Chains A and B, each alone.
Chain A
Amino acid sequence: MDRATYPGGVRAPAHKRTAETQVEALSVPARLVVPLSQSLGAPSRPIAQKGETVKKGQMIGRPDGYISAAVHAPTSGAVAGLERIIDAATGRPADAIAIEPDGDDAWTDGVGEPRPWQDLDADAIREAVADAGVVGMGGATFPTHVKLKPPKGKDVDTVLINGAECEPYLTCDYRVMLDRAEDIVTGLRLCMRATGAERGSICIEDNKPAAIACVREAVRSQDGCDVRVFQTKYPQGAEKQLILAGLGREVPTGGLPADVGVVVQNVQTACAVADAVVRGIPLIERVLTVSGDAAAVPGNFRVRIGTPVARLLAKADVADGFEELILGGPMMGKDQFTTDLYVTKGTSGILAMRRAAAGEGGPCIRCGACIRHCPSYLNPSRLSTLGESFLDGNLDAIDIAMDHGLMDCILCGVCAYVCPARRRIIHLIEMMRGERRKALQREREKEQAQKAERMREGEEVGL
C-alpha cells in the first residue's frame, strides 16, 4: 500500500483506548450553556431573549461580520439568559446563552426534511453551510463557508477531507468514519462543488484499516474521489503536512492551502456540511472522545453543543483527584483550570489525566532531536533559547526569532515532545509571538496618536 508522509514528525504512543467503543448518543442534559463564541473570528450576537421559548435548530446567535458563524439552539426549551462562562479555547471569560430544555426536543420549522440539493450551485451550498453555522470541527473552528469560498484568483482543484486523527487518545473521527462514511463522501462532493475542485480525497492514517475499508467502499462509485492512506505519524493531520504528504505541494509561508489549490476539511465538518445542505440541519451536536488515564470508562459520545464538561467527566467515571483536564488532544489541546466548561463545535476530546506531564525544563544540550522532528524544518532549539534570552531582557531576541521562522511554527509540539531536556519550547515560541503582537499593536497605536496629533495641529493652523 502506498503510504504518503512528510519529513519530520514523531511516532508517539497512540493511547487510542476508545477505538473500538461505539459512539453513544447522550441524552439532552438538564441545562445547556451554548457559547456565543464558537468559531475563529468575531463571536455571534445573541438574538434570543431571556424567557423566550426556542425550538431545536433555531438560530440564537447571529454571525457578526464575515469571519463569524451562527449559533443554534441544540434543543427546544426556554432561554434562561446570558451567562459569563470560561471559553475553553482561550481561558478567558465569554458570553453564552443558557437554555433550559423542555424535554420535547422539537425541531424548528423546515429542518430535517430532505431538500433538493443535487442541483444547488456553489453560492447556494455556501449559504446553506453558513446558515447552519458550520465551522472546522478538528479544533480550529474556522467558519466553513468562508473556507469554501477561495480568494479571488486562487483556483482550488482538490478538496482533502482530514481523517488522519493523529492526536493520541482521540477516536471520535475514526468512529464517525465507520458510522457515517456515506455522509462524509456527500460532504466531500458538496465541498468540491462549492470550491470548483475536480478531485477529492479522504485522508486516513494507516492505523485505521477499518475506516479505510469503510470509506473506500462509500467512495467507490464517485468520480474524482478516492481514499489516501498516510503513515501513522504525528502531526499527520496538520493541514500543511497533510497537503505536502498527499499532494506533494508546499503551502508558501504566510499562505493558505488555497494558494496551492487545496481546501482541507475535517471529517466531522464534512458530515456537518452534508447535514446542512442535504437536510437543512444546523450544527448542534458533535461526536467527541472522553478519555485520559484518569477516565475509568472512556468513550465516544454524540453530545449537544453546550453540554457541561463535568457531565461528560462523570459519564466516563473520572475519579476525583485527577490533576489535569485537557480539552482537545494531548499534543495540542489546552489545559483547563476549571471543570466548569461547556462543549463547543470545536471540542474533539476531553481528557482527564492523572499526572500533569510537563515539568521544569533544563538547559538545551543541542542534541538536535527537535530539528530532526520539526515538520516545519525550523530550529526549535534556537527559538527556545531566543525566548529565554528575551525573558532575560534581550529585546532584540524576537527580531532574531522572526528570521528563524517564529511565525512559520505550526505549534504542533513535536519539538517539546521529543526534547530530552523537557524544554518548554512551544510555550516560549507562543510567548514570543504574543510579545510581537503586543509590540505591533503598540506601534499602530503610536502611529494613530501621531496622526491625530498632526491633524489637530493642522486644524489649529487652519484656524
Chain B
Amino acid sequence: MASDAAQSGPQPAQAGLAVGHWPHLTGEETVAQIMWSVVAALVPAAVAAGYFFGIRAYLHISLAVGTAVITEAIITRLRLGKTTLRDGSAVVTGLLVAFCLPAQARWFVPIVASAVAIAIAKHCFGGLGCNIWNPALVGRAFVHISFPTDMNPSSWPVLTGDHFLGDVGTAVAGVPEGVQAVTGASPLALAKGIANQGYADVDVLKVLTDAHGRGLWEMAVGTVGGSIGETSALLLILGAIYLVYKGWVRWQVPLAYLATVVLGALLLPLYLAGGTGGTEPAAWQPILFAMPDVAPRFVLWHLLGGGLVLGALYMATDMVTSPITNRGMLIFGAGCGLLTILIRLYGGYPEAVCYSILLMNTATPLIDRWTQARIFGYKR
C-alpha cells in the first residue's frame, strides 16, 4: 500500500534490489550539518564570554548545553524510542539559552531555562520542526519571570580590558577582591534610565558617550555589561556571515529587523530638548531632526546594545519559528524590529528582543499564509 511505503525507506525486493521513490539522488546538505554549523558560528562568542565574564560564563554554558542534551535524550527516547542528539539541535538551543543569561545568575537558572526550552517549548509541541516559539527564548522568558533578580541585576559586572578569566560570577554578592572589574548598568539599562527620566533632562550625547567609559567600540567588541553571549556584536556577526554565506541564515530577517530598529530609533518621537546639549525647550520630536549630530550614535547604541544582534542574527532567524517564504521573512523581521524599538523607547522594561521575537513567532503561520507564492500557471 502506498501509505505504508510512504513512511519507510526503500523496501528490500527480489534480487536484492532496494526500491524507493524518486528522486534517487539527494543533495549534500543535512539537518545535522546545518545545526552543527550554527554551533560552530556561536563558538567564538562563547569563547569570548569567558574573557568578558569569567569562568562562570563557561559554567553557565556547560550547564545549559548539558541540560538541553540530557533533556532531549530522555524525551526523544520516551517519545520516539531513539535519541536524535546527532542532529545538533539540542546543543544549539542550550547554547542560545546560555547566551541569554547574565553571568551572575545563580547556577540553577541555566538548568531550569534549558529544561523548559527543550521539554516544554520544543517537545510539548511535537519536537524538532513543530515548535511555535523559539525554545531558547521561551526558556529565557520563563526564568526571566521566575527569577527576576537573577535576570535583571541592578548592577552588571563590567570588566576592564586587561582582565582575563577572573571569576566575577559571585557578583551577586559583590565583586571579589583582586579582580579588575567595575560594575555598572548595562548599556540598555542606562538607556532605559534615560528614557524613564525623560530624554529632555539628560544630555543624551554625554550619557551615550561617557557612561562608564563604555563607548561604541566597547559595545561592538563586547566588554560591556549584559548577558554572557550577547555583548560581542563583532563575534556574533562574524559567525552569522558564515551562516548567511552557506544560506542557512537568510539575510531577509536580520536586514528587515535591524533596518526597522534603525528607522524607529531615528524617526519615532522622543521627549527631547532640541539642540546638542539641550539648548532648546523639550518637545516630542524624532531624534533625527532634534539632534542630527547625536542621532547616529543613538542608533548605533540601540543596534549594539542588549540582545539585538544575538536576537536578530540567531534567534529571529530560527528556521522553525520564522516564516518560510522570503517575503514573509521580511515582514517578520520588520515586525520584530518595530516591537523591539517600541518597547525600548516607550515600554517600562529595558530588554525587548526576547518578547518581540516570541510575539512575532506567534504570527509566523499567519505570515506564511499571507505570503504564499503564486503557483505556476495561475493568475494572481
Contacts and interface: CB of A to CB of B under 8 A. Distances in A.
Contact of B19 (A13, A335, A416): A335
B320 A365 contact: yes
A136 to B, nearest CB: 18
A357 interface: yes
Given A168-B25, A381-B324, A253 B376 contact: yes
Interface in B1-26: 2-3, 5-10, 13-26
Contacts of B20: 324, 335, 356-358
Contacts of A336: 17, 19
Interface in A390-446: 391, 404-405, 408, 411, 413-414, 416-422, 424, 426-428, 430-431, 434-435
Contact of B17 (A335, A381, A411, A421): A335
Contacts of B24: 324, 326, 330-331, 333, 335, 351, 353, 356-358
Interface in B45-64: none
Contact of A366 (B9, B10, B319, B375): B319
Given A417-B23, A417-B27, A422-B26, A430 B2 contact: yes
For chain B, give the interface size range: 35 or more
Contacts of A419: 26-27
A338 B22 contact: no
B25 A337 contact: no
B348 interface: no
A252 B6 contact: no
Interface in A223-241: 240
Contacts of B322: 366
Contacts of A240: 376-377
Nearest to A405: B375
A335 B10 contact: yes
A314 B128 CA distance: 46
Interface stretch (B30-38, B141-149, B167-175, B302-310): B30-38
Contacts of B16: 321, 323
A371 interface: yes
B183 interface: no
B22 A334 contact: yes
B359 interface: no
B10 A421 contact: no
A427 B8 CA distance: 10
Contacts of A362: 31, 84, 87, 128
B325 interface: yes
A379 interface: yes
A387 B6 CA distance: 9
Given A240-B376, A240-B377, A366-B319, A325 B17 contact: yes
A423 to B, nearest CB: 10
Given A371-B373, A377-B373, A365 B29 contact: no
Given A336-B17, A367-B319, A417-B26, A360 B130 contact: no
B191 to A, nearest CB: 34
A420 B377 contact: no
Given A336-B19, A418-B29, A356 B130 contact: no
A255 interface: yes
Q: Which of A10, A357, A420 has the most B CB atoms < 10 Å from its CB?
A: A420
B378 interface: yes
A372 B375 CA distance: 13
Among A168, A418, A424, find the residue whose CB has the most chain B CB atoms closer than 10 A.
A424
A339 interface: yes
A368 interface: yes
A314 to B, nearest CB: 14
Contact of B376 (A365, A376, A430): A376
A359 interface: yes
Contact of B374 (A12, A372, A377, A381): A377
Contact of A332 (B14, B23, B378): B23
A420 B33 contact: yes
Contact of A330 (B25, B33, B87, B250): B25
19 contacts: A324-B17, A324-B20, A326-B24, A338-B14, A339-B15, A339-B17, A356-B10, A356-B18, A357-B24, A358-B9, A362-B87, A363-B127, A363-B129, A371-B373, A377-B375, A391-B6, A408-B378, A420-B29, A422-B26
Interface of B: 2-3, 5-10, 13-27, 29-31, 33-34, 84, 87, 89, 127-130, 247-248, 250, 319-320, 322, 324-326, 372-378
Given A323-B17, A414-B23, 20 more contacts: A240-B376, A251-B377, A252-B378, A324-B20, A338-B13, A338-B14, A356-B9, A357-B24, A357-B26, A358-B9, A358-B20, A362-B87, A364-B129, A365-B89, A365-B129, A365-B319, A371-B324, A379-B373, A408-B375, A417-B25
A-B pairs with lowest CB-CB distance, top 8: A413-B23, A337-B13, A356-B18, A253-B377, A427-B21, A358-B20, A363-B129, A376-B376
